[in-house]
Structure 1
């Protein structure tokens, strides 16, 4: 699961170079860090969810994955963000906040994994 998320998200955000998608901003080490963290979280969540008798946190996990995606994705390449805001607003206001969003997403996701693990007797 983690490898699939890594390849899929890496390809559609241009972090993994490919001929279909061209990234319009520079790649940074933080982008790769948040990509790996989001992929690991997705895989760990799905694994823990499969072991739990009463799975919880699906909406929170989706929020963590979306937050992670926004943290490493190219803000001016994201059609949804570009439709809501102009490219200059995204680069001026949203781009500097991407690392903060990434850290918040990682902390939030880790907290969900810890909470889910404490509730799971099999895990």
Structure 2
């Protein structure tokens, strides 16, 4: 697996992205207390472990886009990138307060958020981790592949 050969620069990007991910998701979902955001319902027991797993996967995925001196330019928005972004968004909805999310409240109302959306949040997190893991696996598997041009 190519992760064993990563440079310090890639590991730095992975770590910085993971920390940034925790902040970007944790502050607006009020998992990290701030005077700006609040929560009506406290985080579930699985929210922090789920957020940390997603952050690590997102950091590793972001690091696969850092070009090594041999590789050249980073890739464009490919399918693993879109899947990773979807996984990141799913984590935001999964760990957030069900009645603090304005989109959920507009769509379902308070009782719908508590009765329909809250029970689905763990499934959203499982889907988020699966999407991030799939995107990372795909990027790592194709990272050492050599592109062969097709003759016209």
TM-score scaled by structure 1?
Answer: 0.89
Q: Which residue of 2 aligns with 1:81?
A: 104
1:27 and 1:120 mapped to 2: Cα distance? 37
| Structure 1 residue 112, shift from structure 2 partner | 1.4
TM-score scaled by structure 2?
Answer: 0.73
Is the deviation greater in 113-122 or in 88-97?
113-122
Q: Which residue of 1 aligns with 2:7?
A: none
State whether structure 2 residue 90 is matched by structure 1 residue 67: yes
* Pairing 1:100-119 to 2, within 5 Å after superposition: 100-119=123-142
Q: Which residue of 2 aligns with 1:17?
A: 33
1:5 and 1:74 mapped to 2: Cα distance? 17
Unaligned runs of 5+ in 2: 1-16, 146-152
Please, which of 36, 51, 59 is the counterpart of residue 52 of structure 2? 36
Note the alpha carbon deviations across 1:30-61, whole angstroms, 9 max, x for none: 11112112222221111012247545322111
State whether structure 2 residue 117 is matched by structure 1 residue 94: yes
| Structure 1 residue 8, shift from structure 2 partner | 2.2
Unaligned runs of 5+ in 1: none
| Structure 1 residue 26, shift from structure 2 partner | 1.7
Residues 35 and 72 in structure 1, CA contact (< 8 A), matched pair in contact too: yes
Corresponding residue pairs, total: 122
2:123 and 2:32 mapped to 1: Cα distance? 22
Q: CA RMSD in A?
A: 1.7
